[in-house]
Amino acid sequence: MPHVHRKLLRASIMATSLWVVAASLAGGAEPPSETQLQRLMDTAAQAPESPDHDYVMNSLHSILRQAKDLKLTQPQTNKIKTITDQFERTRRDRELAYKQSEMEVLRLIHDTRSSLFSIESAVQKADQEHSKLRMAGIKAFREARDVLGPEQYENWQQSHAAQEMARSAPERAQSATEPGENARIAPH
């Protein structure tokens, strides 16, 4: 999840939680049932995938697509393919761990017996899982960069930047009128 989406999800979870608590105190309403909580967690788990961690994968695939133009040797291509395969597996595992951590936060928020300390610990764990995901991407990108020679990297960087600019032109036009949620501060 991108940083902005994660903040929005947490804000909506907290707002829902506060509303549930306020409604139950004010109107004597019952707390949400297990079925309602499960439905909420299932909905959160099915949130659309974010482009947040796609930068690295897009970059790795871009290097492989441009292998001929960059004049990559067969050993270089093989190393980058290996890095890409390893990152795909790591990314899948890290995203799963991150989503599970976020689901634990949701579960604790709605558990009337959980303390704020346990909720805070779960939030911190989710943040750590997200950091591990980001660092795995950064590590893979740097490994691939180190396989390239300086001139190859410079040529790829210029080409990739041009492709990214062309691809994001419609997004930039939209964001000029309204702020976009897909703004990236750092590649990961």
pLDDT of residue 8: 52
pLDDT of residue 160: 80
**pTM (whole model) above 0.75:** no
Q: Are 50 and 98 in contact (CB under 8 A)?
A: no
- For the record, the structure tokens of 48 come out as 């659309």
pLDDT of residue 97: 93
pLDDT of residue 48: 45
For residue range 103-113, list pLDDT tens digits in order: 999 999 999 99
Q: Are 135 and 64 in contact (CB under 8 A)?
A: no
Regions of the chain with pLDDT less than 50: 1-2, 4, 15, 18-29, 47-48, 182-188
pLDDT of residue 173: 63
- Residue 175 burial class via C-beta count within 10 angstroms: exposed 0-12, middle 13-18, buried 19 and up: middle
pLDDT of residue 177: 56
- Residue 80 burial class via C-beta count within 10 angstroms: exposed 0-12, middle 13-18, buried 19 and up: buried
Q: Are 23 and 31 in contact (CB under 8 A)?
A: no
Which among 144, 168, 172, 170 has a CA at the least distance from the CA of 157? 144
pLDDT of residue 105: 93
pLDDT of residue 54: 80
